[in-house]
């Protein structure tokens, strides 16, 4: 695996290089400290498997760089590694095409989990940035999900979002198949892997995902995770009352 790190803080850059090299003997890591250097590195050699991108670069806005990378290298996964933990930044990064968002205060284990999830085709957002405490999955018979839907309430920054104003999964009328698609969607699986898991065509999965998003009243997968998280909390609170 070949990784490009983009971060203008020398200590962070060095620390990330050390962590990523520890993932295996076959991992190669290149570090650059600016958007201009990242462009030059990719122009010299576009054969990278992953980009880790800081949002606070000295010569460019990280979101602009993310947009540029997704447009220029659409097959190259980008994971944002940022000191920011604002929910608005998480949502914006994922909606702009990032395959993950990792806070810089994350542990080595969390960074490793994120990279493994992204390289397997999934989408990573840490539970702590969703305001969740628990590690339970959507279905307790499945493996622990990266995007969790049970636990503590969402933080204030997320709770105010309009797309969370839904009453509960039992009230939105999902079919059994749509519920299965939602469970896999919340685990961060892309349409191709959902199709493989459920033995459906990718086009059929796309139709189911669109129907699930409509039922939840949201337009993106990130918003779907937040909406279901809020519903789970509201249900728990009503049960406690």
Q: Find out whether 103 and 83 touch, Cβ atoms under 8 Å.
A: yes
pLDDT at 142 over 60: no
Domain covering 156-240 in this structure, CATH number: 1.10.10.10
Average pLDDT over residues 217-230: 75
pLDDT at 95 over 60: yes
Q: Where are the domains of the chain?
A: 2-125, 156-240
For residue 216, the SS3 value is: helix
- The CA distance from 82 to 238, in Å, is 36
* Pick from 64-73, 76-85, 137-146: least confident: 137-146
pLDDT at 138 over 70: no
Task: Residue 235: name the closest of 133, 167, 144 by CA.
Answer: 167
pLDDT at 137 over 60: no
The predicted structure's pLDDT at residue 145: 30
Q: What is the pTM of this model?
A: 0.61
User: From 1.10.10.10, 3.40.50.2300, 3.30.1330.10, 3.30.9.10, which CATH number describes the 2-125 domain?
Assistant: 3.40.50.2300
The predicted structure's pLDDT at residue 79: 93
What is the percent of the chain where pLDDT is above 90?
32
Q: Find out whether 102 and 126 touch, Cβ atoms under 8 Å.
A: yes
The predicted structure's pLDDT at residue 238: 61
**β 28-32/2-6 pair status:** parallel
The predicted structure's pLDDT at residue 166: 38
Length of the chain: 241
Q: Identify the residue with better confidence: 171 or 154.
A: 171
The predicted structure's pLDDT at residue 62: 93
198 sits in the region (left: phi over 0; alpha: psi -120 to 50; else beta) called alpha
What is the percent of the chain where pLDDT is above 70?
75
The predicted structure's pLDDT at residue 199: 94
Task: Residue 53: name the closest of 41, 174, 159 by CA.
Answer: 41
For residue 124, the SS3 value is: strand
């Amino acid at each position: 695996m070949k990784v490009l790190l983009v971060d203008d803080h020398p200590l962070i850059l060095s620390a990330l290089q050390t962590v990523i090299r520890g993932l295996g003997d076959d991992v190669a890591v290149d570090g650059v400290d600016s958007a201009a250097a990242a462009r030059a590195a990719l122009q010299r050699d576009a054969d990278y498997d992953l980009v880790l991108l800081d949002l606070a670069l000295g010569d460019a806005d990280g979101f602009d760089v993310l947009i540029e990378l997704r447009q220029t290298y659409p097959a190259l996964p980008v994971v944002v590694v940022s000191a920011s933990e604002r929910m608005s930044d998480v949502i914006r990064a994922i909606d702009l095409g990032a395959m993950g968002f990792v806070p810089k205060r994350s542990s080595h284990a969390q960074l490793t989990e994120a990279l493994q999830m992204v390289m397997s085709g999934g989408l990573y957002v840490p539970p702590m940035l969703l305001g969740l405490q628990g590690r339970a999955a959507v279905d307790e018979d499945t493996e622990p999900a990266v995007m969790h839907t049970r636990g503590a309430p969402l933080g204030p920054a997320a709770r105010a979002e309009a797309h969370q104003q839904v009453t509960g999964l039992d009230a939105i009328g999902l079919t059994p198949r749509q519920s299965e698609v939602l469970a896999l969607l919340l685990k961060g699986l892309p349409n191709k892997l959902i199709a493989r898991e459920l033995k459906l065509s990718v086009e059929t999965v796309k139709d189911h995902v669109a129907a699930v998003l409509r039922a939840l009243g949201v337009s993106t997968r990130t918003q779907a995770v937040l909406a279901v998280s809020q519903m789970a909390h509201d249900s728990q609170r009503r049960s406690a009352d």
